Amino acid sequence: MENQTKVKMVRRKYDEGFKTEALRMVTNGRSVPDVARSLGISENILYKWQTEQKPRIHRKNSVGMPRWNNFVSNYDRLKWSGIF
């Protein structure tokens, strides 16, 4: 039998501060490939972090705001009632 060695892949973990700083660099105009290269990480992980961050940003901005559909339906109702 051949002597086969198993290579165990180690998944690196990044803290929120590292992720935030990497995304800030991209937001400030640096390209994803440039930031990834300078930090020694995969471009794919940066794109993943961007995707994960979008829903969080959306939730933060939408708290306490009326939903667009409710606004439109209320506006239409008021418009047709003669108030607008």
pLDDT per residue over 49-74, tens digit each? Answer: 999 887 654 454 555 555 655 666 66
Q: Is residue 50 part of a domain?
A: yes
Q: pLDDT grade, residue 79 (50/70/90)? A: low
Q: Is residue 4 part of a domain?
A: no
Domain span including residue 37 = 16-81
Please give the model's pTM, rounded to 2 decimal places. 0.55
CATH classification of the domain holding 58: 1.10.10
Q: pLDDT grade, residue 10 (50/70/90)? A: confident
Q: Is residue 43 part of a domain?
A: yes
Percent of the chain with pLDDT over 70: 61
* Count of domains observed in the chain: 1
Q: Is residue 5 part of a domain?
A: no
Q: Is residue 37 part of a domain?
A: yes
Q: Is residue 74 part of a domain?
A: yes
- Average of per-residue pLDDT across 19-38: 94
Q: Where are the alpha helices (DSSP H) in 2-81?
A: 16-27, 32-39, 43-62, 68-81
